[in-house]
Amino acid sequence: MTRVIACSIFKGGTGKTTAAVNLAAALSLLNRRVLLVDLDTQGQAGTHLGHTAVPGVADFIRGQNTLIFGRHNLDLLAGGNDLAGLKMEIARRPFGGEHVIADALRPLHGNYDYIILDTGPGFDSLSIAALFAADEVLAPVKLEPLAVDGLVQFVQQLTNIQHHRDVELRYIVPSALDRRVAQTGEIHEQLLAHFGGLVCDPIRYNVRLSEAAGHGQHIFEYDPGSNGAADFATLTERVLNDE
């Protein structure tokens, strides 16, 4: 059975793409077949893996085969500017627009153990369609002021979607934990107090994660001995334990 996990929260700069790319990479290295779907108009998931200016999700939904087979066990449907047009198409549909992503991906389910959806910021038609395509949600939360408030707002919106689609908030992933900054630890404690067992071990602040993206590599290629690699390995172990 294919698990479809959306990396989603309606806020930018939380580490959604970093989480999506490195979780997908870690799963693929553990012999799971993974499809990474970039649903952000910025197309950063593809850039993280060294792919730029390629046809992707929008063309796939219109009937073209735009899968990129770039790494063993890890395929990509790229994002990019074309998604802006798709977003408008979905919004204009009188009914059923929220099912566009789910309907397009359904024929691929048998080919993959995991489909990881990297969503853009904001509560728009494309983000809603991503949540209608997912079974589970992984919400990255940057440990900064108002992080809890942003997550609470996201949960409220997700609850509205859950009236129509059985999608579960499964993982809350704190990111950019810096032990030298007391505030990040305090915010982490707030998340634990509010959300308990949904909160995963945090991803520590690690410059190697951003460096890896700049080199078009996931962290396990760029620096497998880094804290970033260790933290994503821990997150992946938790996800695998739920299989």
Farthest CA pair distance, the chain: 52
Q: Are 186 and 205 in contact (CB under 8 A)?
A: no
Residues 195 and 149: their CA atoms lie apart, in Å, by 12
Q: Which residues pair with 68 in a beta bridge?
A: 76
pLDDT in tens, 90-116: 888 878 889 999 999 999 999 999 999
Domains and CATH numbers, the chain: 3-241 (3.40.50.300)
pLDDT in tens, 170-193: 999 999 888 888 788 899 999 999
Residue 27 pLDDT: 98
Residues 206 and 230: their CA atoms lie apart, in Å, by 11
Residues 61 and 174: their CA atoms lie apart, in Å, by 32
Torsion of CA 45, 49, 54, 57, to 10 degrees: -40
pLDDT in tens, 27-73: 999 999 999 999 998 899 999 999 987 889 999 998 898 999 879 99
pLDDT in tens, 4-22: 999 999 888 889 999 999 9
Span 80-84, average pLDDT: 87
Residue 75's pLDDT band (boundaries 50, 70, 90)? very high
Residues 63 and 207: their CA atoms lie apart, in Å, by 39
